[in-house]
Amino acid sequence: MTIFDNTLDADGALIVGAGLAGLFTALKLAPRPVTVLSPKPLGMGASSAWAQGGVAAAMGEGDSPRAHAQDTEMAGAGIVDHGTAEGVTAEAVARIEDLARWGTPFDRDDFGNFELGREAAHSANRIVKVEGDRAGWAIMQAIIAEVRRTPSIRVVEGITALSLARDNGRIIGVYCRRLGDRYSEPIYIRARATILAAGGLGGLYAVTTNPPGVRGHAMGMAARAGAIIADPEFVQFHPTAIATGADPAPLATEALRGEGAILVNDLGERFMPAIHPDAELAPRDIVARANFRQIQSGRRVFLDTREALGADILTRFPTVSKYCHDAGIDPVNGMIPVTPAAHFHMGGVKVDERGRSSLPGLWVCGEASCTGLHGANRLASNSLLEAVVFGARIAEDIGGLEPTRKLTPFEGIEWDEAEGNKAEEVLRNTVAVQELRRIMGDLVGVERDEAGLKAALRQIAHLEATAEQVTSAFLNMTTSATLVAAAALLRSESRGGHFRLDFPEPSQDWEHHTEMTLSQALAIRAGA
């Protein structure tokens, strides 16, 4: 291990990522010291803030954690960990109470009871919401305010993690750079406990609902350090991203279909009832494939909210309404054009029930992790729930390692908006990144086959070999892309978010999780 001259000490636990998972963990660690690394100012660039639906919790009359767990297992297509599902759903109410105590203004009725919404594949109304479709944003605003009030939490903005630091097999911190500074020596931040909470990988795809910086960096870093990765092939494509041509694509929340909105093609045909008994509220992978096949056949697909909501969409779903307004779409009198888009990664760094990875010293939570909760297909609004449940568990697990002490200031690291935005645009528009996103969208997308996956692996290898500048950030991306494609090639069946045209049915032989290291994925890539 190399120690650089510019070494900083976290003075406690170190959290990479400032979405809900990272900040919730930091708050649960208080008053023990913790340093949170965020590439951008808090609230910018985190997928959590973009979540529209809400948090799933069995709080309604006649509902139960057991029923919530059963729905989770049903949606996960046979490979959800039963114990994880039961444990997470049992903790849901307590975590909702945490969020409410920290100021989240959840929707309530006149008697103070939570107003619960319904989303696909749930057997009951159990989505705790804010203003219809603003849950992620509202939760993050409340959490950020609480973080700012907590003296034991040091937030370092304008810094991006590149790789994990190891010593004798243990993770002892991270190597970072100031955002936009590609040439100075990396900064080494050491810590006895490192928590990776830096999001998923939607930005590896040409069409995604994720913030621009969410490109598989977290999983890539962990894999390059030797961590076991689980279920990387299971990528969830949201069926109703708004087809405006924007990058990333704005999202039309599933809650609209929960309110009765329907899908039709440009011939006015409603096609979902013939595909699944739950029609528009079928599991996401089924709806996404139905939309994808309509588009592949030359049709356009629309979400029609007119009869279900009419003008109420403007007040009940203000986020979607604003997206439509900005794109020149009138959802009251017209229909919303939609398309499938990479949305959520069910796979990630394999962790146990305490959030511990296979690497000593490294815990992982949020979308960067694979807890076994989601199986092959995440149940709607379980992602924020997973983030807070495992954030609390990780804080409890490592809390005894960190005595209370005073944080020392970090000097010379601060967010520069102009430099940060410039760095993001430069990375986003490089030929290699654009080509990687095309490969993933065309060959490792909603539908896959052996020939396409092998071609994808060869092309990713070629990109690594020929890219003008192979940085750690780019290697994290290609590492994650390789893991997804290699695992998809290995899994010769269709299950949940993974659909193989050449193996369209599920197989009992594959009714288990995938576990893979980077060296194993590279061996598969070499043979493609």
In this prediction, residue 413 carries a pLDDT of: 57
Residue 342: which H helix or E strand, with range? strand 336-345
Q: How would residue 30 be classed by pLDDT, with cut points 50, 70 and 90?
A: very high
Antiparallel, parallel or unpaired: β 153-157 and 34-38 = parallel
Q: What is the mean pLDDT of residues 299-312?
A: 97
Question: pLDDT confidence of 421, banded at 50, 70, 90?
Answer: low
3-class DSSP string for 371-397 = CCCCCCCCCCCCHHHHHHHHHHHHHHH
* Mean predicted confidence (pLDDT) in 20-37: 95
Domain at 235-343: CATH code? 3.90.700.10
Report yes or no on whether pTM surpasses 0.85: yes
∠10-16-20 over CA atoms, to 5°?
Answer: 120
User: What does the pLDDT look like over 179-238, one tens digit per residue?
Assistant: 766 656 788 999 999 999 999 999 999 999 998 789 999 999 999 999 999 999 999 999
Q: What are phi and psi of 449, to 5 degrees?
A: -155, 170
Please write the tens of the pLDDT for every residue from 284-297: 889 999 999 999 99
* Of 19-33, 87-101, 106-120, 359-373, the least confident: 106-120
First to last CA, the chain: 33
Distances (CA, A) of 371 to 102, 193, 386, 391: 26, 19, 8, 12
Q: Provide, rounded to the nearest whole percent, the portion of the chain with pLDDT above 70.
A: 91
pLDDT band at 3 (very low <50, low <70, confident <90, very high): very low
The predicted structure's pLDDT at residue 159:
87
Write the pLDDT tens digit of every residue in 493-526.
Answer: 999 999 999 999 999 999 999 999 999 999 999 9
Q: How far is CA 186 from CA 12, 164, 226, 354, in A?
A: 20, 12, 21, 31
Q: Which residue among the candidates 284, 289, 437, 500 is catalytic per the annotation? A: 284
Annotation marks residue 224 as catalytic: no
Consecutive H or E run containing 462: helix 450-466
Whether residue 66 is predicted with pLDDT greater than 80 in this model: the reply is yes
Above 50 in pLDDT, residue 23?
yes
Q: What is the pLDDT of residue 197?
A: 97
Cβ within 8 Å of residue 2, ≥6 positions away: none
Kindly report, residue by residue over 428-485, the tens digit of the pLDDT. Answer: 668 899 999 999 999 999 999 999 999 999 999 999 998 877 688 899 999 999 999 9
Is the model's pLDDT at 397 over the cut of 60?
yes
Q: What is the pLDDT of residue 261?
A: 97
Residue that is written with structure tokens 């509220």 in the block: 281
117 vs 296 pLDDT, higher one: 296
Domain boundaries in the chain? 235-343
Is the confidence at residue 12, as pLDDT, over 90? Answer: no
pLDDT at 345 over 70: yes
d(CA 232, CA 227): 13
Residue 123 has pLDDT above 50, yes or no: yes
Residues 44, 363, 145, 106, CA torsion sign = positive
* Tokens of residue 59, six digits: 């709080």
pLDDT at residue 2 in the model: 41
Give 411's pLDDT tier (boundaries 50, 70, 90).
low
Whole-number mean pLDDT of the chain?
A: 91
